[in-house]
Amino acid sequence: MIIVARDGSGDYTSLQAAVDGVTESGRAPVIILMRAGEYQEKVVIHRNNIRIVGEDPETTVLTWNGCAKDTYPDGTEKGTFLSSTLMVTGHNVEVENLTVRNDAGDGRKVGQAVAVYAAGDRGVWRNCRMIACQDTLFCGPLRIPNVIEEIGDRRGAAEAVTRVEDGHLTWSRQYFENCFIRGDVDFIFGSYRCWFEKCTLFMNERGGWYTAANTNRHQPHGMVFHRCRLTGACGEGEASLGRPWRAFARTVFLDCEMDAHVAPDGFRDWDGERVVTERYGEWHTRGARADQRSRHPAQKRLTDEDAAVITLQEVIGGWDGWRPDRRTPTWFLCGDSTMADYPPERAPMAGWGQMLQPLLPENIFVQNEAINGRSSKSFIDEGRLEAVDLCLRPGDRLIVCFGHNDEKQQDPSRYTSPEETYPAYLGKYLETARRHGAEPILVTSVPRRLFGADEKLIPTHGAYPAAVRALAEREKVRLIDLESAAAVLVEQAGPEGSKALYCHVPAGHPHYPEGAADNSHLHERGAVKIAKLFLDLMSGRARVNAPDAACADAPADLGGLIAREDWVLNENR
């Protein structure tokens, strides 16, 4: 997780610097957590697989004052598409709990002033606030040449066209859920397929048009607003549902509530050529403007049968079956060095949590927040659990594995007693998970490699594993007794064979010139083995291999595990 904080307490003080610092991403998205504050910067998110989480949408604000009347050195105006506060050119970008604002002001003075320019594919916006005046939200491709020239190597993977105004056939999609979008003239516009779920559309005092689509004529769907609320601060009837930016524009309102600010005629023609057609429609409108008898004569009065086929999957599902309404559950790992991720220069040392993602099906993400040297206490005292707290959502899991550093009595910043403070701190993790509807899972520590004269493993964690077991029983949470199961695995490998599980490397290794004989931290082979063992324990079918197979590289058969585990989010969750 990357943390952005204006006061310097995070990894970066600006969002753009954090995005630029992301060099690559695996299957799971890189999480960028923005702490509360007002960030005055113009940002382009050009990386794929990014999840941006604001601490709170009311207090985490990204703002800029770009407008169409901004000029180049020669005095030429830059125009609409270089005015945005936040531009997204990457794919699979998710933004939540963030206010994006354009402070340029009234469009009658400054022209268009975009808050959000969503140019990538599979964009997800949850619980965001987008605030501007004219042209608040644009969902469409990049414009050649001026936009691409301006953003340079931040073009990302976004579509690009010579003129975005022409309504080219596009394939990119955007999803908005529980967002507040405020503006006036044409303030939601573009050519992409977009689904708005339970959003509030707020018209400024000036009045105007909520939407201006420029859907391509061969594109069956454009903008769909489902269970949204349309309101505003303008006078009664001064807010039109929309107008066609280009002929064949497609906009539909399904089961939406519209107050008296909405004009009785609903949609309006732009001019003599760009006119309302049956590609505009409403179904089950509620509120002060529920009566459709005065609507534009050309707009479609959708029947139940018409509305039934305008589904999220049909509109934005696409060839890949994208379902942004179903959150991909994330397993957040909180623990110490035995669980942590290691950089390439530390290889072959690895944490078992580092090996989980490749072993899991695609419908699960792993966010490994475990870090070397931390105890259940110091992890919390450093604010690490608080950061995870801000990112947890229903259906996620919080997997907790401490103990190695809780034992260090000589270090009061880390030490916890197994009788009192250790279970008390672990309880804070349980409370955090439950508060969000996530599942807490307690895990006992990986054993150290210490054999007695009888070639039996000597337990070194004292009363700490027993404290975890007792807490899990008392709190009725899932327990993964990794210590006991891994001890059997290590004993089966024997004093010599077990060296292959831990970071034992000969002298001359490029990362360990003098060699290493570490009996606490795992070798990549051992990390994979322990990760597989963890998943077997999760499924209730733990399997311990024979000693001669202790370091086998063959992947575990996860068929039974997947069958037993509800890892795909339920539609109603």
CA distance 331 to 438: 9
Catalytic residue, candidates 24, 345, 362, 514: 514
CA distance 241 to 263: 7
461 is catalytic: no
The sign one gets for the Cα dihedral 403, 404, 409, 415 is: negative
Residue position matching structure tokens 């404290």: 467
Among candidate residues 286, 25, 320, the one with its CA nearest the CA of residue 172? 320
Contacts 24+ apart (CB under 8 A), 306-310: 306/281, 307/254, 307/283, 310/221, 310/224, 310/252, 310/254
Cis peptide before 361 (omega within 30 of 0): no
514 is catalytic: yes
CA distance 275 to 253: 18
337 is catalytic: yes
Catalytic residue, candidates 172, 337, 378, 498: 337
Among candidate residues 116, 106, 105, the one with its CA nearest the CA of residue 43? 116
- Phi and psi for 305 in degrees, rounded to 5? -70, -40
- 200 exposure class (CB count in 10 Å sphere: 0-12, 13-18, 19+): middle
Among candidate residues 206, 287, 197, 190, the one with its CA nearest the CA of residue 239? 206
Tell me if 369 sits within 8 A of 437, measured CB to CB: no
CA angle 382, 384, 386 (to 5 degrees): 105
Identify residue 445 by its one-letter amino acid code: S
Those residues with Cβ within 8 angstroms of residue 272's Cβ, 6 or more apart along the chain or in another chain: none
CA distances (Å), 192 to each of 65, 104, 173, 410, 511, in order?
25, 25, 6, 60, 49
The three-state secondary structure class of 557 is coil
CA distances (Å), 152 to each of 81, 145, 156, in order?
14, 10, 9
Element (H, E) at 527: helix 524-539
Looking at the DSSP assignment, which residues form a beta bridge with residue 441?
399, 478
Active-site residues, by number, are 337, 514, 521
